[in-house]
Structure 1
Amino acid sequence: MIKKLILLAFIAFSSVAMVGQTTVTGTVTDAKTGETIPGANIKISRKALGTTTDFDGKFVLDVSDNPPFTLEISVLGFHVEKVEITKNNQKVMVSLVENETSLDEIVVSASRTPERVMESPVTIERMDSRAIKNTSAPSFYDGLENLKGVDVNTNSLTFKSVNTRGFATFSNTRFMQLVDGMDNSSPALNFALGNLLGMSELDVNTVELLPGASSALYGANAFNGIMFMTSKNPFDDQGISVSLKGGITSQEAAGDNEFYDFNIRMAHAFSDKFAAKATLSYLKGEEWHATDYRNTKDGVYVSGDRDSDRNYDGLNVYGDEVSTNLRGVAQTLEGLGILPAGASALLPDESVSRTGYNESDLMSYEAKSVKFGGSLNYRPWGNDRLEIIWNTKFGIGNTIYQGTNRYNIKDFFMEQHKLELKGKNFFVRGYVTNEDAGNSYDSRFAAININRYWKDDNTWFGQYTGAFVQGTLGGLNAEEAHAVARQTAEAGRLLPGTAGFKAAFDQVTADPSLVTGAKFQDNTKYYHADGNLNLQDYIDWAEFQVGGSYRLYSLNSSGSIFTDYDGPIKYNEYGVYTQVQKKFLEEDRLKVTASIRYDKAQNFEGNFSPRISFAYAGGENKNQNFRASFQTGFRNPSTQDQYIGLNAGRAYLVGSAPDNLDRYSTQSLIVSGTGQNFTGSGTTTVSGRSAYENAFSAISVQNFAAGKIAAPIAAEVALVKPERVTAFEVGYRGIVNTGDTKRITVDLSVYYNQYEDFIANKNVVVPFYGDVAFTQTAPVGPGGSLVPLSLVALGSGDFVAFQTYTNSAADINSYGATIGLNTKVFDDFNLGLNYTYAKFDFDQSSDPDFEAGFNTPEHKVKLQFGKTDLFKNFGFNINARWQDEYRWESTFLDATIASRTVLDAQINYSVPTWKSVFKLGGANLTGKEYLSAPGVGAIGSQYYLSWTINN
């Protein structure tokens, strides 16, 4: 039915006309320069009826309304003017006053009520369609990186992770993104996939970003910050807009590759009651190739390569994680009678890994994104007092995601459907988010199981060991024997590009069982409802707001990610809040805002999140704003923190929801039985509960094996619970006059964060037998002394690694500051400079197993220089960014990321008669490639040419 309505609406798009009873004509000019303003919006107050000025700044408005009524004349960057229309054929001359600074722009997100940026009680960053036009970045989403205090980590060409105030990861569950009020995060992955499935650039109205804790108003996961992307309303922004963008990406590993980005937006108000819009976006290009083949061990870089290290584990090489000890294999073969007694003495006590495949052999580097969005908007009374909105979004695309492993996200599909009722002082909405992982797969397991498809591990290592023994007996030295052994074991290996490799690849990537396959299978969804009511029409001494939200998760991976083997796992969470805002002192110079929220998740105790802020407007024109705030935030453990059950290759991942511990157990594991006569050879499984209740600290096992400590230490792993942050912030926004008409706008903030129960992964080692308290013992050998069984298990290789989800008891703090300066120099050239300082305070000795993953440079500097009208219809913009080196910590690898300087620039030319803007630009123009994190593709240069038509 909805599809039919949209079709009928747009068939009628060009044939609907209004019968005019009143005609108004006029001209709109810039009050400062006297020049006419094209593209200014002319509309009847509180209605969708209106028009825009032509390229000469003139307009003609024919409406059926009879005078008197009020016209609102607006354009981005200028104050709104209102004109009373009292008669037919009235002519008006309107002069718009430019906003003194960007601090005069209106924002809503800081307090859930409209206010100037200058008056906001907390730090806020903003981008609108005018800023998007001037950005030098290839897209508006890339342009967010030029905002102060904002970090953007590039996972791939189409997947960028936005973050503020530290603890950045690609799976950034501490930062929330809302698109028209809908959470843009993946239900199963728990984080937003950049703009892969988000909003069309042509439909962006505003982007507002609140750095820091925001849970008091926005609930769980608004922990590090929250970003609001708001689309254009079809009542207010009508017409057909088209954007054509093309260019090349240039990288040493991938060469020069073309990319295309097409967008179209159609919107029309068929009457003052009904409007509709539709958007379509298509992007295609080549991902940044990941070609870091350096050797790694235990999550860090080490020396050596495949030729020099027989246990080589390359970073962007997969399948070589499978390794074993040669002497142990020989001892097993001796026991089976395959090798003669004593043969194991001929083998070195060292591990050998299987030969892996490079990422480029396994990944499809095709970047693709197809997005459709549409809305039907209905105003029962013909004004904006009440609006009913049905909003639908579909997206499908390819990208690359790096978590514990590297995932080829292929044909990933996500849809959202929302019904919203919105009025002057309230909204209530409900929406559903559903995803389908499509043909996505884990590249590490793809390589492991392609190897096993061709030849199982036991056969491969057995052949290697046998050939080594034969070579040694034949007089070869160790190097020569190893070379013969690998050559023997590798005989007939499946090579990339061959039909055999393709057949194995297709079978493995279509199989969701990680024992034999690599497919990422998921159909998880969640249902969400929230509402807000402003009581300003009922309470006049202060502004009161109340609201709440509810969410129901339905995890559905058929047991491939979560422990949902017998059907979807469902759980819920909800929250309620209230806020009061009151102005004091003469001229309402002091604004006090206080709010509190209560949230409860099904598996955890309830949580209160209070916030209070003070904002004082000083100066003759209230253009000196001083603010201070106390805020709190919290984050519920994610779906994976609670219910994951996954073999990630290097460790088994098991979530710590109480009902999850016994849901999960490992696949069959071989018990060697070496050196003991009380268990025997065979197989066993280990439950998820053992990871939390009978495990050693992984670091202590490493230290024990190295002889640094007498015995490994039992891991103390509590079940995960919500993490919390308490944030203190002071700030200043103002205008500093430097003489004549020159002025500098200043935006400064300083913050200090204290974290409690920081959600952490801890690596543990579970012995196949025995207990970590050493109460179970047995004699080793004839007449041997009693030895703890768990130590025997460690010595025999009878153990398995787990990654658990818990909280750190360590004291974790962070602090920092940002300052932004903006002014005009020379002949009205725009000059902006901002600096961000971020520092992490954590005593590693207080929790040796914990990696906080601050992953944020201590110093960042960003510079902007440009002019929108260098000469008639021509403008340009330059952005430069520098940041110092920093440490990146993750389950994939820990490494130092080098400092970098990045230069972006664009020039644009407007052709008013065509209603067109042409833009030529480039990102990373210096050509010096850089990494956002270890393991991702090196980011090269991107050059583009775009043509945007706005009707």
Structure 2
Amino acid sequence: MRVYLLFLSLFFCSLTFAQNTITGFVTDSNNQPIPGANIKVVGDSSGTVADFDGSFKLQSSKKLPFVIEVTSVGFGSKKVTISSANQKVSVQLLDEENKLDEIVVSASRTPERVIESPVTIERMGIADIKKSASATFYEGLENLKEVQMNTSSLTFKSINTRGFATVANTRFMQLVDGMDNSSPLLNFVLGNMIGVSEIDVQSVELLPGASSALYGANAFNGILFMNSKSPFTSQGITAYAKYGQTVQNAAGSNDYVDYGIRIAHAFSPKFAAKANFTYMRGTDWYATNYKDKTVVGRDRSNPNYDGINVYGDEVSTNLKGVGQSLAALGLIPVGAINLLPDYNVSRTGYDETSLTDNKASNTKIDFSLHYKPFENDFEIIWQSKFGYGNAVYQGANRYYLNDFFMQQHKLELKGKNFFVRGYTTNEDGGKSYDMLFTGINVNRVWKDDKTWFGQYAGQYVTSTLGGATPEQAHIAARSVADTGRLIPGTAAFKSAFNSVISEASVLSGSKLVDNSKIYHTDVNYNFKDLIDFAEIQVGGSYREYELNSHGRIYTDANGPIHYNDYGAYTQLTKKLLDDRLKFTGSVRYDKSKNFDGNISPRLSLVYSGGENKKHNFRASYQTGFRNPSTQDQYIGFNVGNAVLLGSAPDNLTRYSETLPVSTAVGQAFAGSANVIVTGLNAYNNSYTASSVAALSASGNPAVLKKTNVNYVKPEQVKAFELGYRSFLNGVSVDLNGYYNIYNDFIGNLNVVAPLYGTAQDAPNPLAGPTNAGTQSIHALQNGNFRAYQLYTNTDVEIKSMGFGVGLSKKVYKDFEVGVNYNYAEFKFDQAKDPSFEAGFNTPKHRVKASFGNEKLFDNFGFNVSGRWNSEYLWQSTMVDGMIDAATVIDAQINYNILKLKSTIKLGASNIGGKEYTQVLGAGLIGQQFFASWTINP
């Protein structure tokens, strides 16, 4: 509170300084304004950005005379001497389409040209955002080389690079103004739900490879930096409004609205503030994949159907076992048991479209206060960010994030050569719920499972005795069991639905509860002004997790789970051979509470060849690592057909549940109607799921294989990369190739734990009923087991490799063509670990291209972008299958109205209209049309 009062008092103070006010215009060679051009006082922190019409106003207390430098992407820079106060200048910049000269910071934590970066880096600036044909700048990132987008819903898109893609991408980090905006509970980024407004974006930088040496454990497969504009250099009121429609076969045509405003002002050279507000709403892509999750070709006519986007049909039981229970109670003759088939039937489920309103929305609010107490680059920043909205997240199930809320608060001190920042991230699950358990428990509100299956079995027997075929008997049995079923849209259904989503217990509800937090601090210092020999940096970080799902997702029913990690790094950069050879060496040490420390080194060389040093060759090697996430360690989440179980030792004993044993078939072995199981059963007394499936298919217990699984530990990667960048005859060239070797790769293992007996390899069924191995076989064959999905590491080495080619050129006047290609594959000997899923989830071939002209004629521009990917295998905790090849074309036209300081844009995504998917189980992506109006200061 004191910090807020301090800044508020500064906000209303009137500070006066001796000022020089310089005004002017920035234009190109055609005398057209260059909006967004940067104007900076050389040797001073003063600076500003040109307005929409190219005009600027710069205030500086620096003593005359001094020099200003004017720069803009795609143009050569120019310096102008300022010799008098209130001087007016006119600056004309010449075209210089060489994006390899852009300045980036993320690759080495220090400013350097893209062409000198020791690793592959992609960048999107203000001009690129304006050209993007996508509905949002975040979606436009998909057109960058190396980027693969995974769309779970309209408002939840995750970015991935270099393979092993998931919606919950814990191997990829995203920083917004230095803050990791991953979910504290789940450890992955929720797209741009608490990101940055597109009118506040200064630049986006992407490192597609392992970056652990500088950024720690989570930057395992890549890292994205989104940097916002400073209120000192980008002032005024900016606003935008978009209206359009989304079009999908399943959902039809629906309105799409997106608008925002940015207000920024520098009250003096020492104090500035800004605020942003954005709001977006639309209709989500309907998820209507009704294929069976587990059996190819099985459809709703099958008695044991389990649809991908159908929930409640996961509840399944053996029909003959039901008959045995009914006979034991005297409800059917004992002889009628033989009329029942010896296979499972499932309850009738509800389609996803009946369990969500399919509304997507996102509200973002942020503000920051900036104070420069001295006449140098030292700055104090307080920043607060708030994100709120609805989205669908897909993990082991589909989850509706309803009124989900997340906030971040940061205090940062930074100067020319250092920064110190601390921030906290808090989240609230709101009214979020699990769709699978919504379907299960809406069914149970109406009729409990025992009654439903009893009615099904009884009618099946009756129909069979009446001469019905098995198919006819199943239809009649389901009709009788479903009599009175709650129908979506009715008052009875709505009442049951609202009751279920408001209750957290999976026994009767589906609500997701989350009040988790992260506390994080970073520090970095660059000794370049103190040490001449080389540029040396040191830094470190500390993070504290507070997991608090109230026992719903994690084993934290008795209170929050706390754990921490920390790390420290140093880096040395040295230029040799007349500055042609640049050496960078860095090393980082990281330690997490439950694991031994890890050391991550990185070595790189960049050589600039040719007379003008325009041929730049780079090579790098680094080891990266990833600590197991909070899910990998502490989850204890019942997802219906299995329990997701983390392997932290205290987690296994903390997870406990009481399960019923079918007394008709298990009493002689179990001795009780209920069994208490813990996480230790899953890890120490279970069979691999693949061997249990083999038992079911063959009936031969000799195929059973006892689970031999270790507790999860950090995974490592050895990453090798080669690259070449140049600007040849007007063509920007960027080539790269990589080869990664993964050890102790973290993944999931599906196992089945019998509720009684002892799991053992190839148990002998003839050993007798008191033998522990025989008992475990009996448990499996009679449905007395619990399925688990464990987090562990594979002992099999995984390798991935790929290369990329990026080319761009102005082909005629201002017409620009860009094309890039990426190849990616991985190698994993599945036979050595048949139950392990690596989940590469990446197309082998991807091609992207763009064609546009921002100066087609006065104030008018256009851009067309297209992308294609080959088909690929998708593996996830929810469903496995193939994702088809897809071709997508986006286009936009824009017109600048200088008198109104406005840009009008008309755009369309997927103009070909063929729907495609990026996440198996999510909705097919249709078309999106929009018109936008942006007003610049």
Verify same fold: TM over 0.5: yes
Q: Which residue of 2 aligns with 1:901?
A: 887
Contact 1:930 1:938 in 2 (8 A): yes
Q: CA separation in 1, counterparts of 2:34 and 2:155? A: 36
Q: How far 1:37 sits from its partner (Å)?
A: 4.0
Q: Name the counterpart of 1:740.
A: none
2:201–2:229 CA contact under 8 A, matched in 1: yes
After superposition, the C-alpha distances for 1:68-100 in whole angstroms (9 at most, x for unaligned) are: 333333334334433332334545443334444
Checking the alignment, whether the CA contact within 8 Å between 1:577 and 1:598 is kept in structure 2 is yes
Query: How many aligned positions are there?
Result: 935
| Pairs within 5 Å for 1:497-516 | 497-516=489-508
- Cα offset, 1:3, TM superposition: 6.9
1:254-269 pair list within 5 angstroms: 254-269=251-266
The answer on whether the counterparts of 2:701 and 2:763 sit within 8 Å (CA) in structure 1 is no
Find 2:523's aligned residue among 508, 522, 531.
531
Match of 2:172 among 172, 175, 178: 175
Separation in 1, partners of 2:277, 2:656: 45
Q: Which amino acid aligns with 2:158?
A: S
Q: 1:335 aligns with which of 328, 337, 343?
A: 328
User: 2:430 aligned with 1:438, yes or no?
Assistant: yes
CA deviation digits over 1:710-751, x for unaligned, max 9?
2401111100001111110100001222xxxxx211100011
Q: What's the counterpart of residue 369 of structure 2?
A: 376
CA contact 1:21–1:66 (8 Å) conserved in 2:
no
Q: Which stretch of structure 1 is more off in the superposition, 395-404 or 670-679?
A: 670-679
**Which of 806, 812, 816 is the matching residue for 1:830?**
816
Aligned amino acid, residue 334 of structure 1: A
Summarize the alignment of residues 399-478 of structure 1 with structure 2, pairs less than 5 Å apart: 399-478=391-470
CA, structure 1 residues 599+786, in 2 after alignment: closer, same or farther (shift >3 Å)? closer
**How far apart are 1:563 and its partner, in Å?**
0.3
Shift, 1:706, TM fit: 1.9
Cα pair distance change 1:60/1:729, threshold 3 Å: closer
| Structure 2 counterpart of 1:797, from 783, 796, 816 | 783
TM-aligned CA distance change 1:524 to 1:339, over 3 Å: same
Q: Quick one: which of 736, 753, 756 aligns to 1:769?
A: 756
In structure 2, the residue matched to 1:592 is 583
Alignment of 1:262-301 (within 5 A): 262-297=259-294, 301=295
Tell me by how many angstroms 1:382 deviates: 3.8
The residue aligned with 2:923 is 937
Structure 2 SS opposite 1:637: coil
Aligned to 1:305: 299
Q: Deviations over 1:326-356 (max 9, x none)?
A: 1110111112222222221121222211111
Q: Distance in 2 between matches of 1:227 and 1:678?
A: 56
Pick the aligned partner of 1:862 from 829, 833, 848.
848
2:661 match: secondary structure: strand
Is residue 2:531 matched to residue 1:545? no
SS at match of 1:561: coil
- In 1, the alpha carbon distance for the partners of 2:773 and 2:704 equals 14
Instruction: Report the residue type matching 2:565 in the other structure.
Output: E
SS in 2 for 1:660: helix
What is the rounded CA distance, in whole Å, between the counterparts of 1:49 and 1:538 in structure 2? 24
The CA deviation at 1:933 is 2.1
Cα separation, 2, equivalents of 1:121 and 1:134: 28
Alpha-carbon displacement from aligned partner over 1:280-328 (angstroms, at most 9, x marks no partner): 000000000011112232xxx5223223x11111111110111111111
1:188-232 per-residue CA deviation (whole Å, 9 max, x = no partner) reads 121111112211111111100001110000001111100000111
Which residue in 2 is equivalent to 1:648? 639
Amino acid at match of 1:621: N
Paired residue for 1:490? 482
Q: 1:240 aligns with which of 237, 240, 251?
A: 237
Alignment gaps of 5+ in structure 2: none
Q: Report the aligned-residue RMSD.
A: 2.3
Match of 1:658 among 649, 653, 660: 649
1:91–1:237 distance in 2 versus 1, CA, 3 Å: closer
Q: Distance in 1 between matches of 2:801 and 2:35?
A: 45
Find out whether 1:392 has 2:384 as its counterpart: yes
- Native 8 Å contact 1:654 1:802 kept in 2: yes
Query: What whole-Å deviation, never above 9, does each CA across 1:562-584 have from its counterpart, x for those lacking one?
Result: 00111100000000100000111
In the TM superposition, what is the alpha-carbon distance from 1:427 to its structure 2 partner? 0.4
Q: Check 1:800–1:832 CA distance in 2 against 1; reply closer, same or farther (3 A cut).
A: same
Residue-by-residue CA offset, 1:246-278 (whole Å, 9 max, x unaligned): 100000000000111011111111011111000
Asked if 1:611 is matched to 2:608, the reply is: no
Deviates more, 1:708-717 or 1:900-909: 708-717
CA distance in 1 between counterparts of 2:406 and 2:452 reads 41
Deviation of the 1:672 alpha carbon: 3.6
* Equivalent residue number for residue 128 of structure 2: 131
2:213 is paired with a residue whose SS is helix
- 2:500 is paired with a residue whose SS is helix
Contact 2:48 2:233 survives alignment (8 Å)? no
State the one-letter code of the partner of 2:489: G
Matched, 1:704 2:682: no
* Cα distance between partner residues in 2 of 1:775 and 1:894: 28
Which structure 2 residues correspond to residues 743-754 of structure 1 after superposition, within 5 A?
743-754=730-741
Q: CA deviation at 1:394?
A: 0.5
How has the CA–CA distance of structure 1 residues 673 and 732 changed in structure 2, closer, same or farther, with 3 Å as cutoff?
same
SS of alignment partner, residue 296 of structure 1: coil
Q: 1:277 to 1:752 in 2, by over 3 A?
A: same
Correspondence for 2:681: 690
Cα pair distance change 1:824/1:788, threshold 3 Å? same
Q: Which residue of 1 aligns with 2:360?
A: 367
SS at 1:110's partner residue? Answer: coil
The aligned counterpart of 2:906 is 920
Q: Give 1:915 deviation, angstroms.
A: 1.1
- C-alpha distance in 1 between matches for 2:199 and 2:771: 76
Closer/same/farther in 2, CA of residues 536 and 950 from structure 1, 3 Å limit: same
Instruction: Tell whether the 8 Å contact from 1:599 to 1:608 is kept in structure 2 after alignment.
Output: yes
Q: 1:785 to 1:803 in 2, by over 3 A?
A: closer
Change (3 A) 1:514 1:217: same
**Cα offset, 1:412, TM superposition:** 0.5
In structure 2, distance between residues paired with 1:277 and 1:55: 18
Q: 1:881 aligns with which of 867, 877, 890?
A: 867
Q: CA offsets, 1:768-803, max 9 Å, x none?
A: 111123799998889x99962212222232211111
Letter in 1 for 2:871: E
Letter in 1 for 2:842: T
My pick for the range that moved more, 660-669 or 128-137, is: 660-669
Instruction: Look up the SS of the partner of 1:280 in the other structure.
Output: strand
User: Is residue 338 of structure 2 the alignment partner of residue 345 of structure 1?
Assistant: yes
255 and 11 in structure 1: CA distance in 2 versus 1, 3 angstrom threshold: farther
TM-score (norm 1): 0.95
In structure 2, how many angstroms separate the alpha carbons of the residues matched to 1:230 and 1:57?
A: 22
Letter in 2 for 1:419: L
Change (3 A) 1:195 1:786: closer
Task: Mark the CA change 1:928 to 1:714 in structure 2 (over 3 Å): closer, same or farther.
Answer: same
Pairing 1:122-201 to 2, within 5 Å after superposition:
122-201=119-198
SS in 1 for 2:459: helix
Tell whether 2:634 aligns with 1:634.
no
